[in-house]
Amino acid sequence: MTKTHLGHRARKRFGQNFLHDTFVIDAIVDAINPQNDEQLVEIGPGLAALTEPVCDRIEQLTVVELDRDLADRLEQHPFMQQKLTVYRGDALKTDFHQFQKDEQKLRVFGNLPYNISTPIIFHLLDQIDAIGDMHFMLQKEVVDRLAAQPGTKAYGRLTVAVQQACAVEPVLLVPPGAFTPPPKVESAVVRLTPYSEPPHPVHDFKTLQKLCLVAFNQRRKTIRNNLKKHIDAEQLEALGINPNDRPETLSVEDFCRLANWYYEQHGAL
Ligand code: SAM
């Protein structure tokens, strides 16, 4: 059941769970540590739980909000009006480069709508050149996947894509009671910092992503089986990968080596 919060009825379809716990809000804003000479962009400001305390510290903030009622409220907000640029739209379809000034990298943050948090992360990875860092509230399970080590259940294609591009630091665990209405799951805040020089560079990030999609398609199968249309067992061995291993045992470096071999042989996947 949706409950009202500050006179607004939470909309499930927009993944609305509003933060109200001031300890959690302060901890997130401290983790972001916004500064005046930086360009910050918030995804899904909602009822301004994070927006307000961030605006207390800086002069300019861009927010991307899909819910028109909430965007209206933000535009009419008495204290923040001067500081906020409200962009009405779907974060999934937004080109974040447009928010850059003088090519300065963006600091992106938000308590993301959980129903689309993984697609939003992939969408931002596609425009990583515009991003300095990201702080997101996510389902704890998603943060576990972002930070996972090879050989664990949480390790998968999201892990490989994000860890190739970013350093991942879980920051804070957040219980359901910190939100109105409370979500059914535990939450966590994570900091993602894109590498200026990735430790395992790839020729083509899309090829890496597509290869991982195929490799993890059936986790119980061997890597040889999952990738048989793209690479044979002998070649896997030549690349230092045991063809009989399961996909989750391969390191990020292994996947990058595979993707680079594929790209050099066949071009983009
Ligand atoms: N930041 C607020 C807070 O912490 O209380 C609200 C967080 S709520 C989990 C998610 C917010 O994202 C809502 O304001 C919702 O309307 C907005 N939203 C949902 N889908 C969106 C999308 N595709 N693009 C931009 N904002 C979206």
Cα 31 to ligand 1 centre (Å): 20
Domains of the chain plus CATH, in order, are 4-194 (3.40.50.150), 205-266 (1.10.8.100)
Give 19 Cα–ligand 1 centroid separation in angstroms. 11
Q: Tens digit of pLDDT for each residue in 42-67?
A: 999 999 999 999 999 999 999 999 99
Residue range 89-115, pLDDT digits in tens: 999 999 999 999 999 999 999 999 999
Is 60 exceeded by the pLDDT of residue 4?
yes
What whole-number distance in Å separates Cα of residue 90 and Cα of residue 14? Answer: 10
Residue 260: per-residue pLDDT: 98
Instruction: Residue 148: count other Cβ atoms within 10 Å of its Cβ.
Output: 20
Residue 5's pLDDT band, with cuts at 50, 70 and 90, is confident
Average pLDDT on 239-260 reads 97
Residue 59 is predicted with a pLDDT of 93
Q: Annotated binding site for S-adenosyl-L-methionine: which residue ranges?
A: 17, 19, 44, 65, 90, 111
Q: Per-residue pLDDT for 25 more than 80?
A: yes
pTM: 0.96
The residue ranking higher by pLDDT, 10 or 200, is 200
Is the pLDDT at 2 greater than 80? The verdict is no
The predicted pLDDT at position 125 comes to 97
Ligand 1 pocket member 180 (CB < 6 A): no
Q: What angle do CA 219, 229, 238 make, to 5 degrees?
A: 85
The alpha carbon dihedral of 32, 35, 41, 44 has a sign of positive
Count the Cβ atoms, other than its own, within 10 Å of residue 196. Answer: 7
Give the pLDDT confidence score for residue 172 in this predicted structure.
Answer: 97
Q: Which residue has the tokens 């590498």?
A: 195
Report, as an integer, the average pLDDT of 174-178. Answer: 98
pLDDT confidence of residue 82 = 87
Q: For position 1, what pLDDT does the model report?
A: 44
Average pLDDT, the chain: 95
- What are the angstrom distances between the C-alpha of 66 and each of 60, 70, 90? 20, 8, 5
Q: Whose CA is nearest to atom 23 of ligand 1?
A: 90
Strand pairing report for 4-5 and 84-88:
unpaired
